[in-house]
Structure 1
Amino acid sequence: MVPEDGVNLNRAFPGDSAGSLSARLAFALETALYPEADLLADLHSGDCNEALHPLVFFPTAGEEMVNQVSLAAAKVLTVPYRVRSTAKNGLYSWAVQRGVPALLIERGGQGLWSEQEVDACCEDVRSLLRHLEIMPGGNPPRDQLEITETFYAEAESEGFWYPAVGLDQQVRRGELLGHLETLSGHRLQEVRAEFDGIVLYYTIALGVRAGDPLIAYGHP
């Protein structure tokens, strides 16, 4: 979040040279870095209010060559899940629209960053450097599962969120994933699985607003 204008820089793409500070920063990044990049890796660590299983988002909404180069890079990472993405906003998604292969890597969450997660993130960077032949050596085969469809549930109103499942949990279609209720305990919304899948991340914050993300799950 950029304090001067309260905008999430990752959501400021495409940039605007005449816009707010976030828009100008985004414009500077895309004009200076995108033309020089062979691959853009956007490293994230989950939100403070989010429990998250390590994963990488790779694009399917770009040109075929861009999608394939991005997918090949995603396959060398140590994360257990690679998730197809059709997003078109944000740093990495806008890079894809501009013809730059790109990935978004998520590892961490809940405001925590363990030594194991730091080491794994560093290994992911080294893996990409070896993949691009910037560093010598190859990468071993990775044990990954590709998530072909993901459902992102959002809060329909403000209230108190109670998740009913855990990270990396297998869920069945129709299973209760969590619910939203009022201060007095009146149930406002139930979130049930639209299909069999795996829990990728969910909000751990008790209080949520309308439109806030609640949980994401997907299937191969």
Structure 2
Amino acid sequence: MEAALVFNKKKDFLQVLLGFIFVSFFSNILVAQNNKTFTVGSIEADQGEMAKGSLSIEKGIDEGTFIPITIINGAKSGPVLTLVAGIHGTEYVPIITAQKLVKEITPDELSGTLIIVHIANIPAFSSRSDYSSPIDYKNLNRIFPGKIDGTVSERIAFTLSNEIMSKSDYYIDMHGGEFNERIIDYLYFYYGCPDGDLCKKSYQLAHAMGNKYLFPDKYNSVPDSLPSGYSDLEAFRRGVASITLEWGDQGAVKPEEIDKALKGIKNVMKTIGMLEGKPFINENPVYLINEKLVNSNYDGILFTFVDRAQYITKGTLIGYTTDYWGNVLEEYHSPISGIVVVVKICPSINKGESVFRIAEPVDEYKE
């Protein structure tokens, strides 16, 4: 019988931190190909150097593409951290953050290797497509680990899984709000996994990033018998500590969002021993549980009454959809009392699409 474990934020974080430092000390000896020459595809970075280039996604059953990456191979040995931006085409804060980070991190100050995937999904980015590729109409973050002989999105997923994840110790999948979304800055981290050390590392990454809202995500929510689908879960199944986060919304790039993102990434790097300096601890996160989606049952025109981060009570009228002549087709009421995580703001809505995501805020969560 499983015992329920209640996480007290400050106490448990400090315990995890001590254990994490111990694990990191020994794992850092073994990783990063000893940080001599680090290779991803045809891109090589010698120890103490930075290299930039592209991973080629060759033409297959449809057209090919490429993935622009930067490798910063530190002068000192340490872990391998991968940052992935642009899995979805209009999530711009992570993409701009990645560009700025390259200019602010030098090999001389780095212990370990930093892999930056600047834009994972060039077809979606170039066409300003939000969730899906304009080539195969697939959502890249639903088809991991991909297929070597699949469509272009599946080949991108396969390349990321086998060329990037397989060489990483830590993996952060960076997202943000699309054009049609108002969204809070939050992240997902895994708990309840068979590998306790891996879960501790995921917890550690989450609490070092600085996002206010944290979703504890049970590891077996996607059974091992099924494909991972999600980028971070595929990394986790390969033994790589991972989290997924969200920064910014409506496709906007605001300086304060970039600054917050850079601060969080650098703090993670301090926490896992890649940069010198004392890391800060997110002692007061808001955990979000019991998330509920409110979906549309009609094609039509959407009207909403609430905003991101707003607390609403169960049963509150939060929006409605009309037909194209202004007749109300359905009203939306909150299924729970909680915080609005995401609200769609584009008037165009289609049957089956999510309109709202609402979750219950708590100070502690149970495993």
Q: Partners in 1 of 2:340 and 2:298 — Cα distance?
A: 22
2:199 matches 1:59: no
1:109 and 2:252 correspond: no
For residue 63 of structure 1, give the secondary structure of its aligned residue in structure 2: coil
Give SS of 2:302's match: strand
Q: Is the 8 A contact 1:54 1:107 kept in 2?
A: yes
Match of 1:75 among 207, 214, 217: 207
> What percent identity do the matched residue pairs reach?
23
- SS of 1:148 mapped into structure 2: strand
What do the CA deviations read for 1:93-126 (whole angstroms, capped 9, x no partner)? Answer: 2222333221111011112010000111111111
| Equivalent residue letter for 2:269 | L
- CA shift for structure 1 position 156: 1.7
Q: Residues 88-103 of structure 1: matches in 2 within 5 Å?
A: 88-103=228-243
**Matched letter for residue 161 of structure 2:** E
Aligned-partner SS, 1:6: coil
- Could you tell me which runs of 5 or more consecutive residues in structure 1 were left unpaired when the two chains were aligned: none
Question: How many Å apart are 1:186 and its aligned residue?
Answer: 2.5
- Partners of 2:302 and 2:315 lie apart in 1 by 18
Retained in 1: the 8 A contact 2:143–2:157? yes
Indicate how the Cα distance of structure 1 residues 67 and 186 shifts in structure 2: closer, same or farther if over 3 A, else same: farther
The answer to whether the 8 Å contact 1:62/1:99 transfers is: no
Determine the C-alpha separation between the residues in 2 that align with 1:119 and 1:111: 16
| Whole-angstrom distance in 1 between the partners of 2:330 and 2:244 | 30
Matches of 1:62 and 1:179, distance apart in 2: 40
From 252, 255, 264, give the equivalent of 1:124.
264
CA contact (8 A) 2:315 2:335 kept: yes
Q: Which amino acid aligns with 2:155?
A: R
Q: Which structure has more helix as a fraction of its residues?
A: 2
SS at match of 1:46: coil
**Of 174, 178, 181, which aligns to 2:322?**
181
Quick one: structure 1 residues 130 and 154, their matched pair in 2 at CA, closer, same or farther if it must change by over 3 Å?
same
1:185 Cα offset (Å): 2.5
- TM-score normalised by the chain length of structure 2: 0.57
Larger Rg over CA atoms: 2
Instruction: Describe the shift of the 1:97–1:191 C-alpha distance in structure 2 as closer, same or farther (beyond 3 A).
Output: farther
User: For 2:199, what is the secondary structure of its paired residue?
Assistant: helix
Question: After superposition, what is the alpha-carbon deviation per residue over 1:20-43, rounded to whole angstroms, capped at 9, x for unaligned?
Answer: 111111111101222221111011
Alignment of 1:1-220 (within 5 A): 1=124, 2-60=133-191, 62-65=193-196, 66-85=198-217, 86=221, 88-142=228-282, 143-219=284-360, 220=362
Output the aligned Cα RMSD.
1.8
Q: Contact 1:12/1:26 (CA < 8 Å) preserved in 2?
A: yes
Per the TM alignment, residue 200 of structure 1 is displaced from its structure 2 partner at its CA by 1.2
Report deviation, 1:6: 3.2
- Give the 3 Å change call, closer, same or farther, for CA 33–167 of structure 1 in structure 2: same
- Uncovered stretches (5+) of structure 2, i.e. residues with no partner: 1-123, 125-132, 223-227, 363-367
Give the partner amino acid of 2:322: E
- The 1:11/1:216 distance shift into structure 2, 3 A limit, reads same
Amino acid at match of 1:122: L
Check 1:189–1:100 CA distance in 2 against 1; reply closer, same or farther (3 A cut).
farther
Greater RCO between the two (CA within 8 Å, min separation 6)? 1
Provide the aligned length of Structure 1 versus Structure 2.
220
Shift of residue 138 of structure 1? Answer: 2.7
Contact kept in structure 1, 2:336 and 2:358, CA below 8 Å:
no
Structure 1 residue 7: Cα displacement = 2.6
TM-score of the pair, normalised by structure 1: 0.92
Check whether the contact 1:52–1:167 (CA below 8 A) recurs between aligned residues.
Answer: yes
Distance verdict in 2 for CA 1:116–1:198, change over 3 Å: same
